[in-house]
Amino acid sequence: MTPSRPLGLIAAFAALAVLYALPAIAPRALVQDLFGVLTLLVLALNWNTLAGFAGLVSVGQQAFVGIGAYAMFAAIILMDLNPLVGVLIGGLAAAAFALPMAFFAFRLNGAYFAIGTWVVADIARLGISQWKALGGGTGTSLPKGTAKDMAFVDRIKAALDVSSAAAADALTYWLMLTLAVAMLVAGHVFLRSRMGLGLQAIRDNETAARSVGVDPVRLKALVFLLTAFGTGLCGALAFIQITRVTPDAAFSVIDWTAFVIFITVIGGIGTLPGPIVGAVIFYALQRLLADYGTIYLIVLGCLGIAVMLFARRGLWGVFTGRTGIDLLPLTHRPPKSAAPQPQASRRTA
């Protein structure tokens, strides 16, 4: 074990502690900003698992955000359920939609899959636009005070001594932060599990993986389903904060997929910390170029292209390549008892 690892872990826990304490110590605007960044981080963690590890380059993730959001709105407005239950329903609805979507899109190989998922997301957007009970093409808003009615808001309000609106912000922020941490841990555990190793084997060589008994289609379908669930949860939670939904906003390919792709690619696709690095850079760019409107999208696009040309593993890949530090290694270390590898047996480059 490299000596840098415990240090890195301590730093990570310290950063996490600060992030959790933020609503108590920082202004509300910062909490709202970070909520947005965390939303993109959760989406990026899901997309990274899908594209970076399972090789499923989806450009249709906005389908799950939109369906998650609309299912949550339906649960609250039409069924009068608690918003937090609504979020869970949002995740489940997205996963349910992922089934027929996979059945269809998996017919398209490799790169064609990307546009196929985009078409399906567009179908979902146009289909939802026909749902008159939720406002059709013009969308609808959450009933006034919905966020404040969530469980725990009163207690947070009392504990932090803030307005109920700020308390609601704190709650959604904590939930999103927890979702991000859960995704990160789940991703790490999953990728080091038998299934996760099978997935990486498929990515490296599908035929070889098949020959050792890994079923690529089933495994990929499972990942597609699980990341749809995560993406749906995230979308539902994000729209509790936004409080208003329209088909164009909920199914926006720029907001929910393009940003996410750039974050992942710039940070380092196929690496676990990549999306975190990418989200931080994205936030910095957004603040820096906030006054220049569309320029920052152009910068993001160019950065993404440059990374693909010059550093395919992104900034995190460059960092680990230069320093040898890997905070969340996915390779299994050889057992301690194993004899040291003789130099001679290593293949010459």
Partner 1 sequence: MMLIDTLAQGLLLGGLYALFAAGLSLVFGIIRLVNLAHGDLIILGAYLILTVTTITGLHPFVAVLLAASLMFGLGWLLQTHLLNRVLGADILPPLLVTFGLSVVIQNGLLSGFTADSRKLAAGAIEAQSVDLAVVTLGVMPLLTFASAVAVIFALNRLFYRTALGRAFRATSDDAVTAELMGIGPQRIFAGATGIALAVATIAALYLGTRANFDPSIGPARLLYAFEAVIIGGLGSLWGTLGGGIVIGMAQALGASVNPERQILSGHVAFVVVLLLRPRGLFPRASD
Partner 2 sequence: MSALLQIAGLTAHYGDFQALFGVDLTLQDGETLAVIGANGAGKTTLMRAITGIAKVTAGTVTLAGEDITRLPAPEILTRGIAMVPEGRRLFPSLTVEENLLIGAHARKGNGHWTLEKVQALFPILKERRHNPGTALSGGQQQMVAIGRALMSNPRVLLCDELSLGLVPVVIKEIYAAFPRIKASGTSIIVVEQDIGQALRVADHVHCMMEGRITLSGRPAELSRSAIHDAYFGVSHA
Q: Which is nearer to partner 2, 194 or 347 (CB)?
A: 347
Characterize 198-234 residue by residue with b for buried, 16 or more Cβ atoms within 10 angstroms of its Cβ, and e for exposed.
bbbbbeeeeeebeeeebebeebbbebbbbbbbbbbbb
| 141, β-bridge pairs | 244
In the region spanning residues 66 to 125, those forming contacts with partner 1, defined by CB under 8 A, are 104, 107-108, 110-112, 114-115, 118-120, 122-123
Q: Which is nearer to partner 1, 293 or 335 (CB)?
A: 293
Q: Which stretch binds partner 2 (CB under 8 A): 92-100, 270-278, 317-325, 341-349?
A: 341-349
Number of residues located near partner 1, criterion CB under 8 A:
42
Q: Are 271 and 49 in contact, with CB atoms under 8 Å apart?
A: no
DSSP string, 40-66: HHHHHHHHIIIIIIT----S-THHHHH
Q: How far apart are CA 43 and CA 54, in angstroms?
A: 15
Q: Which is nearer to partner 2, 341 or 348 (CB)?
A: 348
- Three-state DSSP at 293 gives coil
Vertex 264: Cα angle to 260 and 265 (nearest 5): 115
Q: Which is nearer to partner 1, 13 or 103 (CB)?
A: 103
Q: Which stretch binds partner 1 (CB under 8 A): 21-29, 66-74, 282-290, 297-305?
A: 297-305
Under the binding rule (CB under 8 A), the answer on residue 338 touching partner 2 is: no
Closest distance between partner 1 and the C-beta of residue 117, in Å? 11
55 binds, among partner 1, partner 2, none (CB under 5 to 8 A by kind): partner 1
Burial (Cβ within 10 Å: 0-12, 13-18, ≥19) of residue 47: buried
Under the binding rule (CB under 8 A), the answer on residue 349 touching partner 2 is: yes
Closest distance between partner 1 and the C-beta of residue 165, in Å? 32
- Give contact residues for partner 2 (rule: CB under 8 A): 347-349
